[in-house]
Amino acid sequence: MTKINNISDTTTTKKWMTDLWAWADEFEVSEEDLPRNEAHLLTITNLTICSDQITELSESIGYLQNLTHLALNCEALKRLPESIGQLSQLERLTITSDKVKQLPKSFARLTSLSSLNIPTHLNNQLPSTLMNKYRNENKRLCIERIAFTSLYKPLENNYGLSRYGFFLISDNWDEKALIDLKFEAAPDFLLGLQTTEKSINQFDVVDGVIICEPDEVQQVMEMFKPTFYEGYVSIDHADIEEALSFARPAKFIQVSALEMSKLDKVFSQVIDRIPKDITIKAMMFHARSNREFTLDEFKIVSDTIDKMDIEDEHIFYSTEVVDKPEHCWMGIIYMVG
């Protein structure tokens, strides 16, 4: 590794460069990643820093104004320098450390960003310049780490971003409050949970309503992550939208047992709770157990649901293995046509 005192010509070197190199030497950032040559340093467009020791970046990093990609894989990082706002060409930024608690005010100047991968809690601090890009389909900012589901309460100070936003109808939301929620949290889908007799008008801003018991709210929300999480299975966004945009409220049902050997009985019980005289438009099925389903077991599930004449693109299956001895749980959300 080339140290700063080995550079042959430092007569034209600016102080910010020597400061940056000294910082890089201290934390053993390689010359391949951060050149110790003035000409090369001024032209770099991609910078990846990997370290489990770095807690702060050098303020001089803001002088690397040709950077378009910056990845900070530094688990101990606690603070971003105010100078980061000088990176006017920056298009992609990755921050892996959950220890960064505050974004600098200068973050608002990073208007060239098109991809942002930062801890979820920092998304709630994004300045309006970036949030407007995120909400604008023509100037889209991709934010990669967003809470998959969130349960929102009326008049919160800050509605955090989420893919699937939920609200309790019993919390007395009005149409304006729901419009504000949809704008601020920018969920792909906004779903109301009906846990009491209180219903809600079918405001255009609401994508659907699911009927469940008060103690089933978390179970309903947890069904959405494994079912629609893009990392597990590729599902067309239009299929999800069509399945969830039902005119009548959907219904959630669940059954569990302490013995995986009773899987067939659990499945029969959950199916038996679906009324026989209805037409089902779409269905989500999720199972949690202490082991994987066998092919024969899953075939029983799929064959039974197939007999309900639901269009294939509106049936969503998911299974999950949990660390609970002899555990078997199944849940279904079905949408009536």
pLDDT of residue 246: 67
11 with 141, same domain: the answer is: yes
Q: What is the mean pLDDT of residues 179-202?
A: 91
Query: Does residue 256 share a domain with residue 124?
Result: no
Q: Are 15 and 31 in a shared domain?
A: yes
What pTM does this model have? 0.79
Domain count across the chain: 3
| One domain for residues 70 and 124 | yes
Determine the average pLDDT of the residues in 242-262. Answer: 80
| DSSP state, residue 292 | P
Same domain, residue pair 270 and 232: yes
Residue 264 to residue 257: CA distance in whole angstroms? 11
Q: Look at residue 62 and tell me whether its pLDDT is greater than 80.
A: yes
User: What DSSP assignment string belongs to 76-106?
Assistant: T--B--GGGGG-TT--EEEE--TT-----GG
The pLDDT tens digits for 2-51 are 333 333 344 467 999 999 999 999 999 999 999 999 999 999 999 999 99
Residue 120 belongs to what domain range?
4-145
Q: Are residues 321 and 336 in the same domain?
A: yes
